[in-house]
Amino acid sequence: MPRPIALALAVFGLGVAFAPPATAQGGDTTAADSGLYSEQQARRGQTQFTRACIRCHAPDAFTGTFIESWSGAPVSMLLDLVSSTMPEDRPGSLERRQYVDILAYILELNGLTPGQRELPVDQGQLEHILIKRRP
Amino acid sequence: MAHSAWRATVVAMLGVLAIGGRDPQQEQPIGTENGEWRYWGADERSTRYAPLDQIDASNVAGLEVAWRWKAANYGPEPDFIYRATPIKVGNRLYTVAGQRRTVVAIDPTTGETLWMWRMRDNPRWEASTRKNYGKAVAYADVGGRGVIYAITPGYYLVALDAETGVPVPSFGLNGIVDLHLGLGTYAVHPDSGVLADGDITASSPPIVVNGVVVVGNSHDRGYYPTKKENVPGHIRGYDAKTGMLRWTFHVVPQPGEFGHETWEGDSWTYTGNISAWAPLSADAARGLVFIPTDTPTNDYYGGERPGQNLYGTSLIALDVATGRRAWHFQMVHHDVWNFDNPDAPKVVDVMVEGRRVPMVVQTTKQGWAYVLHRETGQPVWPIEERPVPQSDVPGERTWPTQPHVTRPAAFEQQGITEDDLIDFTPALRAQALELARPYHMGPLFTPPSLLAAPDGTKGAFVVPGANGGSNIPGGSSVDPETGILYVATEHGHSVISLVPGPEHESTARYVSTGPGGIRGPMGLELLKPPYGSIVAIDLKTGDHLWRIPNGDTPESLRNHPAVRGVDLPVTGKRSHANVLTTRTLLFYGEGRRGDPWVHAVDKATGREIARIALPATTNTAPMTYMHDGRQYIVLAIAGPGVEAELVALALPR
């Protein structure tokens, strides 16, 4: 089982916090306030966002309180909701990779710093990456 | 109103003459006839009721799959959503499928495809904003020939021979009428014919009433528009035999027409939308067609269309022979909440205090069923104009009052207070309060506000949210034998935050950032359950009879670590259940965000009798029919990883 990672989102200056993910079996966590997606992935995600999302959603809608409300939830939960309901006219029509790229773009919108690796596509891995903010 | 009543009487008399049959003063037929299902909503009255009883409480648990029909190959790539409800006429089913909105005929016993028709590729198809929203087709007997009518994504009306699927050559131009023609003067791209400064298409079938094909329309979503301008969704009536335009009804009244003064300045010249995107209903005996409309451009900011904005968010009764307005009822004045009328109105006769009342009932996103006398448009129970909160957004002048339905009681929570936020645990309660703090809370009709408001707030709650309440996938069903209305409703919210349009490449002064908004803590719902329900309302009295949750508590909540150890109620799903009523039972699928079950319920009590597993979740309103002595229930299903298809259930032979 992959080690759980706390994905910290610096929203509203709340900074970074690390806590065991909700599904964690133990207490080990890895600090990860940056480097969970790549710049290239965010660009791909922005392209997809422009193609599939911007008809209804401004990027502003996915910053601030939106991402705060997902704090503590695994990325997989957000991915499941988005991929099963969006785009509204053709839900599920994007490839899984494209949905994950859009999430990377949303992370970028929220001020998370990119790194060398990409946000993974694998469901098991995403279940252990938490959206988390400092309490 | 006396004038309207007089006109309605005349219309009714003409209707009798026109069809040479039903007297409007006599009782209406009870749901479908002869085991057929001739309209999207079962009958012209959109009851979604069939008086069939082969499947009943004693045997429903034994339902099995009779056939499956794959819709996924009718388009350039498979869909994972399917919004079609077949009609059944004679020995065939007819429906639409896929991005091309291909029209198909299907064998009702085996599910075999009998014919198909689709329009050639066309730039207007490419540009269409509602490609796979075709919910159904319409049918009429024209001079002894069965004709199927459909509206393509590119906004063409087509008439097909029901036997062969071949376009009827005497209709329009070789079976096709270009619905762009006659809309008005709008710029188009010269090479493609695509509208340059707006859009219009259709997401529902037409309805054929007394020899007239009545055509509605739809537009792109209006949450985050690039323009304040668009094409108005004028309603047209075409001759069912020739395709000739018989009449046009302007949903934005032109100079000299009733209601023109409800558009201040020159706003009538550029404002669009007000589409009848939901299916239409009719009372053929009275010669009336009922048109539910949506919000003017744009959904959440009306500063560029000051005034009451007729016929935005209204129910309009038109004389189907002339297209003249018999009456109208505006549900929301100067709508800035996206409270589109989202379903075909129900036409039903109900005994109220000893008198038979011809009703038309509109269920809505905002949680009310508006019950009106369909000859006059007068409320059966009082609907009162009451003051509502006013907007502080620059340039916006919200209407000072809004109609409030006094009976039946709302079937969904309206407005929001802190008491409505989840409290499964003290920690979740505290987080929910913190998340909600930046947004205006208030009663129904609390207006949208700015993302960056001077007082530090970031927007406003709209409850019920953009999805309702009631909406098209679940809609409602009425039992004409008992006068009981069954409404599927979703419990959710939107947070609407307005931003300057010019900063977002829009010519509108303000646009919203979108219809969604914040979730609750850790991705949970923000509001207390139930998250989806089916509600039974007695139209004889306006009383609620029962309410049941839409399915069980979702797995995503049951297994969420934040509620581990919490004794959860049965919450139902935040999903629009898909309802259907027969003489013996109420059926509902849980909808796209539910589990893949269809439930059979005792209509009198709401008690579940059986649930039948499906290959995927239901997506839209189901239908039922009788063929060769066997009753079938057909459901459109699809979901993540499951391509669109129809599945037919029946009892074992």
Residue type, B139: Y
Question: Is any Cβ of chain A less than 8 angstroms from the Cβ of B497?
Answer: yes
CB-side exposure of A72: number of CA atoms within 13 Å?
18
**Between residues B473 and B437, the one the model is more confident about:** B437
- Which residues does chain A have within 8 Å of residue B449's beta carbon, measured at their own beta carbons? none
pLDDT at position B250: 98
Which DSSP string do the residues of B230-263 spell out, in sequence order? --B--EEEEETTT--EEEEE-SSPPTTSTTGGGS
Taking 90 as the threshold, does the pLDDT of residue B652 lie above it? yes
Question: How confident is residue B3, by pLDDT bands cut at 50, 70 and 90?
Answer: very low
Alpha-carbon torsion B570, A65, A116, A87, what sign?
Answer: positive
Task: State mean pLDDT over B441-455.
Answer: 97
Residue B357: which pLDDT band, with cuts at 50, 70 and 90?
A: very high
- CB-side neighbour CA atoms (13 Å) of B131: 24
Per-residue pLDDT, averaged over B135-150, amounts to: 97
pLDDT at B643 over 50: yes
Q: What is the pLDDT of residues B277-316, one digit of tens each?
A: 999 999 999 999 999 999 999 999 999 999 999 999 999 9
Closest Cα in chain B, distance from residue A92 (Å)? 6
Task: Evaluate if residue A21 carries a pLDDT over 90.
Answer: no
Band (B56; pLDDT cuts 50, 70, 90): very high
Q: What is the mean pLDDT of chain B?
A: 94
Q: Closest Cα of chain B to A39: distance in Å?
A: 23
- A51 falls in which pLDDT band (50, 70, 90)? very high
Query: What is the reported pLDDT for A7?
Result: 45
B380-403 pLDDT, tens per residue?
999 999 999 999 999 999 999 999
- Tally of CA atoms within 13 A in the half-sphere of B388 that contains its CB: 25
Mutate to test the interface with A, among B79, B81, B563 (most CBs of A within 10 A): B81
Structure token pair of residue B400? 């000072």
Q: Which residue of A has its CA nearest to B227?
A: A55
How many C-beta atoms lie closer than 10 Å to residue B365's C-beta?
29
Distance CA B379, CA B374 (A): 9
pLDDT at B352 over 50: yes
For the cut 80, the answer to whether the pLDDT of residue B83 exceeds it is: yes
Our CA-based measurement puts residue B377 at a distance from the nearest CA of chain A, in whole angstroms, of 34
Option in A58, A69, A84 nearest B520 (CB): A69
Pairwise pLDDT comparison (B198 vs A11), residue with the higher score: B198
Q: Please check the confidence at residue B229 and state whether its pLDDT lies above 70.
A: yes
Q: B642 vs chain A: nearest CA distance in angstroms?
A: 10
User: What span, in angstroms and rounded, lies between the C-alpha atoms of B537 and B532?
Assistant: 16
Question: Has residue B131 got a pLDDT over 60?
Answer: yes
Query: Residues B255, B257, B262, B268: is their CA dihedral positive or negative?
Result: negative
Which among B140, B155, B63 has a CA at the least distance from the CA of B101? B155
By three-state DSSP, how is residue B597 classified? strand
| Of A83-92, B22-31, B267-276, B528-537, the least confident | B22-31
Q: Which residue in B81, B513, B522 is closest to A72 by CB distance? A: B522
Where does the pLDDT of residue B206 fall: very low under 50, low under 70, confident under 90, or very high at 90 and above? very high
Spell out which residues of chain A touch residue B503, defining contact as CB-CB under 8 Å.
none
Choice between A9 and B441, residue whose per-residue pLDDT is larger: B441
B26-36 average pLDDT score: 83
Tell which residue, B86, B101, B100, has the closest CA to residue B36.
B86
Rounded Cα distance between B562 and B270, Å, is 50
Burial of B61 (0-12, 13-18, 19+ CB in 10 A): exposed
| Position B189 pLDDT exceeds 60 | yes
Q: Shortest CB distance from B81 goes to which of A61, A66, A90?
A: A90
Per-residue pLDDT for A17 more than 50?
Answer: no
Across the range A37-64, mean pLDDT stands at 93
- Looking at residue B121, what is its pLDDT? 78
Q: Please state the pTM of the whole predicted model.
A: 0.93
Taking CA atoms, what residue in B is nearest to A60? Answer: B513
A54 touches chain B (CB under 8 A): yes
B501 touches chain A (CB under 8 A): no
φ/ψ (deg, to 5) at A79:
-65, -45
For residue A31, name the pLDDT band (cuts at 50, 70, 90).
Answer: very low
Answer yes or no: is pLDDT of B18 > 80: no
Model pLDDT, residue B22: 63
Place of tokens 């009336």: B288
* Tokens standing for residue B364: 């809505």
* Residue B431 pLDDT > 70: yes
- pLDDT for residue A41 is more than 60: yes
DSSP secondary structure code for residue B561 in this structure? G
Give chain B positions within 8 Å (CB) of A60: 451, 497, 499, 513
Statement: residue B20 has pLDDT above 90: no
Single out the residue of B258, B104, B234 nearest to residue B180, CA to CA.
B234
Candidates B637, B287, B642, B299; CA nearest to B466 is: B299
- pLDDT value at residue B11: 36
Summarize the confidence of residues B408-432 as an average pLDDT: 98
Poorest-confidence range of A27-31, B584-588, B621-625? A27-31
Question: Searching chain A, which residue's CA lies closest to the CA of residue B76?
Answer: A93
Name which residue leads in pLDDT, A30 or A72. A72
Question: pLDDT at position A133, please?
Answer: 59
Which of B435, B439, B640 faces A83 most closely, judged by CB atoms?
A: B640
Report whether pLDDT(A5) > 90: no
| pLDDT over threshold 50, residue B622 | yes
The angle at the Cα of B485, spanning B235 to B589, to the nearest 5 degrees, equals 90
B611 has a chain A CB within 8 A of its CB: no
Please tell me if residue B510 touches chain A, with a CB cutoff of 8 Å: no
Mean pLDDT value of segment B413-434: 97
> CB distance A92–B514 less than 8 Å?
no
pLDDT of residue B2: 35
Query: Residue A32 is inside which H or E element, if any?
Result: strand A30-32
What percent of chain B has a predicted confidence (pLDDT) above 90?
89
Q: List the one residue out of B448, B396, B481 whose CA is nearest residue B31.
A: B481
Q: Is B622 exposed, middle or buried (0-12, 13-18, 19+ CB in 10 A)?
A: buried
How far apart CA B372 and CA B549 sit, in angstroms, is: 28
Report whether pLDDT(B577) > 80. Answer: yes
Q: With 70 as the cut, is the pLDDT of residue B591 above it?
A: yes
Q: Which two tokens stand for residue B545?
A: 């009879």
Residues of chain A contacting B132 with CB distance shorter than 8 Å: 89-90
Q: Is the model's pLDDT at A12 over the cut of 50? A: no
**Cβ separation A55–B639 shorter than 8 A:** no
Residues forming a β-bridge with B213: B208, B238
Higher-pLDDT residue of B477, B23: B477
Q: Do B521 and A61 touch (CB under 8 A)?
A: no
The partner residue sitting opposite A61, judged by closest CB among B516, B519, B522, is B516
- CB-nearest to A93 from B80, B223, B519 is B80
How far is residue B415's CA from residue B491's CA, in Å, rounded to a whole number? Answer: 11
Concatenating the DSSP letter of every residue in B35-50 gives: T-B-BTTBSTT---EE
- Within 8 A of A23 by CB-CB distance, chain B residues are 561
Q: Which of B406, B435, B404 is nearest to B418 (CA)?
A: B435
* pLDDT number for residue A30: 37
> Tokens for B451?
């993302």
Across B284-431, the runs of DSSP E, i.e. the strands, are: 288-292, 314-319, 325-330, 346-352, 355-363, 369-373, 383-387, 401-405
B178 phi, psi to nearest 5 deg: -80, 110
